[in-house]
Amino acid sequence: MDTSSLQRRDIASRAPVDAADPYEHLHVEDFAAPFADGRVGWREMVTVAGRTILSLDGPWRFVLDLHDEGLRQRWYAHDDTPVIAWAIPRDYDDGAWQTAPVPSCWNMQQPEWMYFEGSAWYTRVFDRPHGPPGERVFLRVGAANYEARVFLNGDFVGAHRGGSTPFFIELTGRLKDGANRLQIQVDNRRRPDQVPMNHTDWFNYGGLYREVGLVCVPAVFIRDFGVALAPGSGGARIAVDVTLSEACDIDAHVEIEGLAAHRLRIVGGFGRIEFEAAPELWSPRRPRLYEVRLKAGDDEVRDRVGFRDIRVAGEQILLNGEDIFLRGICVHEDDHAAGKTTSEADIRRRFEDARALGANFIRLAHYPHHERVAEIADEVGLLLWQEIPVYWAIDFANPDTFADADNQLREMIRRDRNRASVIIWGIGNENADTDARFAFMRGLAAAAREADATRLVSAACLINRERFRIEDRLAAVLDVIGLNEYFGWYEPLEGLAALFANSAPGKPVVISETGADALAGHRGPAGELFTEEHQAAVLTAQLDAVAATPYVRGIAPWILYDFRTERRQTHLQRGWNRKGLIAADKRTRKLAFATVAARYTALSAGHDGDASVLEPPLHPAKGVAT
């Protein structure tokens, strides 16, 4: 490390004292650099399956910090001297004069915060949990958009980047008896080297918008485990792998309800076993789940897991060996009142609307959604495409940007790899086919398969506009070719037939986006833009073309609900993408909803044996997701 780096680290670690140079912080511009060394990622994750999480949700002390004075002036190191006893003024006390709820998006708390992009500080005091000797305590943050830096009792304890996946920071040995002060600085600025970059087409919400809590585990604990059908076993073998927190040698025990119970030898902190079993296979028609219990030493985890096989054969997608057509819809994590914060009731409403549409498949755009989405999809029988926000013109030549994307991908996979409903990992969306992008995406595809060999890998590709073909080089490393196309909206509809006729992909294609904007209630002839009639006509033509193209094995129109995006500023959009089949109120269905529902009924009868319209009803809402 060079001298300047040592000086930066020293500046960041020094507590402010009255004798310090009061102007020093005005001249330091790399004030954030020392905190990058403490980033956590997928390797530090802790499975929470069946664990009790001590919630830290509720009102937190909260201040916006547009100029990053909190890091410059080291707010985290301030003592609790009351203002009346200060010898010299400060720009921060304890922040108690203002609060914000966790989880929430700060944009939705005050009208003047709606478009704020920058840093904010969350502070709360909690009592140290007391457990058995040797117990370890981890902070779990469900998601913080985009970069988070965590301080405990004045000390920097870790950081994380990536706005949609959980992270864990160990607090063991740093907690005091009694009250402990936890501070989390969250920065949602958009930057060109981030994932996503600064140019996107959805709203940039900020804050601790998913749940925050403490996880208590034994000294040696189960960090990660996977349960799935063994690839290539024809549904006759189950594989279980376990990763412990320490490189030790012990026996673990796995029990699967009504199927099997086995000893699993762990050597050097890792173990894997395969055994014969004949589970009832999970499918949208019959979403069978099994209780799984895993015990290793003093630790135990539990989960509900479905067993299914997903693979491709030529231009077909096979679920449990049967050809399936993916009748889909895209969904953003966005709400008119709550922003990006999700409740279980809202998740179940999405699924009810998708079921009413006749869908058996949902593309979760354009980032990992709340973990309860996949858990509930397991229960109710909906197939999912999950993806990371490698969106548009990512800085593909930047190794640090790749490291960010790779970590987000692995965090998503580690969080949700036991969810049968997830059949596709998406690694990118609408990226230009350049050499740098090809190398970047090829690396992500390899990472996805290394982390999980039981699912398909896809990306939402663009077409070759010179030859008017599906011809992205990335297709060579994908299992399923995702295709975003808006014929009938951004370009003449006639081009769709030419595209399908010119293409011979040799792999299954899923139309991962298509559609047209329509302002709910705006009526007129089918040729008039932004009318409900035009949206319905475009989707009718799209579904006609898809039904006539054998290699297209699924379609997911854009999108279930209208959503916020400040890019869209016509008088009919006013900061919203209006391509939803349902308006932003999540109640008003446009004409296109009935159009797609009718066609999906026909497709379910003619294209696959998965009669999802006969699937069991969704379970009733149980309240806020935790």
Rounded to whole angstroms, the Cα distance separating 456 from 512 reads 14
Nearest to 170, CA basis, from 124, 219, 102: 219
Predicted pLDDT of residue 380: 98
- Say yes or no to pLDDT of 256 above 80: yes
Highest mean pLDDT among 447-451, 607-611, 616-620 belongs to: 447-451
Rounded to whole angstroms, the Cα distance separating 525 from 202 reads 29
Indicate whether 27 and 151 sit together in one domain.
yes
Indicate whether 393 and 361 sit together in one domain.
yes
In a domain? residue 174:
yes
- Say yes or no to pLDDT of 607 above 60: no
Residues 6+ apart with CB under 8 A from 428: 387, 388, 390, 391, 394, 441, 444, 459, 460, 474
Rounded to whole angstroms, the Cα distance separating 169 from 136 reads 11
Indicate whether 158 and 77 sit together in one domain.
yes
Confidence category of residue 48, pLDDT binned at 50, 70, 90:
very high
Predicted pLDDT of residue 70: 93
Residues 509-536: tens digit of each pLDDT = 999 999 999 999 999 999 999 999 999 9
Q: Which residues, in sequence order, are bridge partners of residue 425?
A: 386, 457
Indicate whether 300 and 369 sit together in one domain.
no
Least confident stretch, 88-102, 151-165, 234-248: 88-102
- How far apart, in Å, are the Cα atoms of 33 and each of 12, 30, 60, 148, 192? 9, 5, 26, 13, 17
**Of 20 and 339, the one with more pLDDT:** 339
Indicate whether 319 and 369 sit together in one domain.
yes
3-state secondary structure of 322: strand
Judge contact between 118 and 204, C-beta under 8 A. no
Q: Which residues, in sequence order, are bridge partners of residue 123?
A: 61, 183
Indicate whether 402 and 489 sit together in one domain.
yes
Predicted pLDDT of residue 18: 43
Instruction: Tell the burial category of 527 from Cβ atoms under 10 Å away from its Cβ (0-12, 13-18, 19+).
Output: exposed
φ, ψ (nearest 5 deg) of residue 377:
-60, -35
Which among 194, 217, 240 is the end of a domain?
A: 217
Segments forming the whole domain that contains residue 8: 3-217
Residue 269 is part of a domain; what is its CATH number?
A: 2.60.40.10
Confidence category of residue 622, pLDDT binned at 50, 70, 90:
very low
Predicted pLDDT of residue 20: 65
Least confident stretch, 2-6, 48-52, 120-124, 600-604: 2-6
Predicted pLDDT of residue 467: 87
Which among 161, 189, 217 is the end of a domain?
A: 217
In a domain? residue 337:
no
Rounded to whole angstroms, the Cα distance separating 543 from 440 reads 33
Predicted pLDDT of residue 17: 41
Rounded to whole angstroms, the Cα distance separating 516 from 591 reads 12
In a domain? residue 619:
no
Confidence category of residue 618, pLDDT binned at 50, 70, 90:
very low
Which among 242, 273, 308 is the end of a domain?
A: 308
Residue 461 is part of a domain; what is its CATH number?
A: 3.20.20.80
Confidence category of residue 2, pLDDT binned at 50, 70, 90:
very low
Rounded to whole angstroms, the Cα distance separating 436 from 390 reads 13
In a domain? residue 344:
no
Residues 568-589: tens digit of each pLDDT = 999 999 999 999 999 999 999 9
Count: domains in the chain? 3
Residues 6+ apart with CB under 8 A from 293: 254, 255, 300, 301, 302
Rounded to whole angstroms, the Cα distance separating 29 from 43 reads 30
Average pLDDT on 211-240 reads 97
Indicate whether 361 and 282 sit together in one domain.
no
Indicate whether 544 and 467 sit together in one domain.
yes
Residues 359-416: tens digit of each pLDDT = 999 999 999 999 999 999 999 999 999 999 999 999 999 999 999 999 999 999 999 9
In a domain? residue 620:
no
Average pLDDT on 221-236 reads 95
DSSP label at residue 315 = T
Rounded to whole angstroms, the Cα distance separating 374 from 239 reads 21
Nearest to 188, CA basis, from 105, 132, 128: 105
Taking CA 446 as the corner, what is the angle to CA 202 and CA 556, rounded to the nearest 5 degrees? 40
Rounded to whole angstroms, the Cα distance separating 586 from 581 reads 9
In a domain? residue 316:
yes
Q: In terms of DSSP bridges, do strands 509-513 and 480-484 run parallel, antiparallel, or are they unpaired?
A: parallel
- Say yes or no to pLDDT of 597 above 60: yes
- Say yes or no to pLDDT of 466 above 90: no
**Of 444 and 464, the one with more pLDDT:** 444
Residue 156 is part of a domain; what is its CATH number?
A: 2.60.120.260
Residues 147-196: tens digit of each pLDDT = 999 999 999 999 999 999 999 999 999 999 999 999 999 999 999 999 99
Concatenated DSSP letters of 69-86: HHHHTTGGG-----GGG-
- Say yes or no to pLDDT of 620 above 60: no
Indicate whether 404 and 543 sit together in one domain.
yes
Least confident stretch, 10-24, 40-54, 146-160, 448-462: 10-24
Indicate whether 139 and 236 sit together in one domain.
no
- Say yes or no to pLDDT of 615 above 60: no
Rounded to whole angstroms, the Cα distance separating 271 from 239 reads 11
Predicted pLDDT of residue 624: 31
- Say yes or no to pLDDT of 617 above 70: no
Nearest to 225, CA basis, from 258, 179, 272, 171: 272
Indicate whether 192 and 80 sit together in one domain.
yes
Predicted pLDDT of residue 3: 35
Average pLDDT for the chain: 92
Residues 6+ apart with CB under 8 A from 239: 226, 227, 228, 229, 230, 231, 272, 273, 274
In a domain? residue 340:
no
Predicted pLDDT of residue 15: 41
Indicate whether 256 and 363 sit together in one domain.
no
Percent of the chain with pLDDT over 70: 93
- Say yes or no to pLDDT of 612 above 60: no
In a domain? residue 535:
yes
Residues 382-394: tens digit of each pLDDT = 999 999 999 999 9
Instruction: Tell the burial category of 617 from Cβ atoms under 10 Å away from its Cβ (0-12, 13-18, 19+).
Output: exposed
Confidence category of residue 605, pLDDT binned at 50, 70, 90:
low
